[in-house]
Structure 1
Amino acid sequence: MPEDRNNKVSCSNYRCEIEVTLEVIGGKWKSLILWSLGKYKVIRFNEFKRIIPEISQKMLTQQLRDLESNKLVNRKIYNQVPPMVEYSLTEMGEKLLPILEEMDVWGKEFVSKFK
């Protein structure tokens, strides 16, 4: 995220808060990661590869870090060998689920009308 946009609370660098939302959850993978966490509640890092097979390990790591830095995803590390990492939604991340559900409904309707 550009340096001048780090303070999302003031939103002084955005025309409206929709821009903030799209920047935080936008892109090809973040919404799928959030949607998957909403469905499964807790997902281990390697399970994401099964759930979203098209995402590379590097991209998954980057997207999860972004979501974690924006306080939408919790990351829990278990001290064992090999290390195990689990991800879940934060309270703020869970608030996005109704929005994602509506996007899912809209997308299905759009596809059915225009395919």
Structure 2
Amino acid sequence: MKKDQLSIERCPVISTIQKILGGKWKIEIIYYIAFEDVHRFGKLRRHIGHIAESSLVKQLRELESSGILIRHDFQEVPPHVEYHLTELGNSLIPVMLHLKKWGDEHWDELTR
């Protein structure tokens, strides 16, 4: 077993970050869905900004396969899709709020 594989298995923090939340846009996607009430693909893309459509699709699919998001496909014309946090995804909200609090408390130190 490789050293980095061993550390991932021993530490749930590293494992969660690398296997579930790793990816340039995943935290931001979760943030907009959880805190900004943004659920549609196009709106997510506009809020995030410089994300390629293929990257957003990939990140959403990975979050969905991890059980963090659920995709609701409306059978309408024109078709549209919405994403919502699952119960598992909602359990990340307190963690994100703690990270926000930590960031707020240490912002001055971090941005010197």
TM-score (norm 2): 0.83
Q: Deviations over 1:84-113 (max 9, x none)?
A: 000000000000011111112222333222
Q: 2:87 aligns with which of 84, 87, 91?
A: 91
Alignment of 1:17-96 (within 5 A): 17-23=12-18, 24-41=20-37, 43-96=39-92
Partners of 2:10 and 2:58 in 1: how far apart? 27
Q: CA RMSD in A?
A: 2.2
Structure 2: runs of 5 or more not aligned: none
Task: Looking at secondary structure, tell me which structure has more helix per residue.
Answer: 2
CA distance in 2, matches of 1:41, 1:88: 9
Identical residues among aligned pairs (%)? 37
Quote the residue 1:15 is aligned against. 10
Q: Any runs of at least 4 consecutive aligned residues in structure 1 with deviations exceeding 2 A, and if so which?
A: 107-111
Report the Cα offset of residue 71 of structure 1. Answer: 0.5
The SS at the match of 1:77 is: strand
Amino acid in the other structure paired with 1:27: G
Distance 1:42 1:89 in 2: 11
Q: For the residues of structure 2 that align with 1:28 and 1:114, how far apart are their CA atoms?
A: 20
Show CA shifts across 1:67-91 (max 9, x none): 0000100100011222100000000
With structure 1 as the length reference, what TM-score do the two structures score? 0.81
Give the Cα–Cα distance (whole angstroms) in 2 for the partners of residues 26 and 93 of structure 1. Answer: 14
The aligned length equals 106
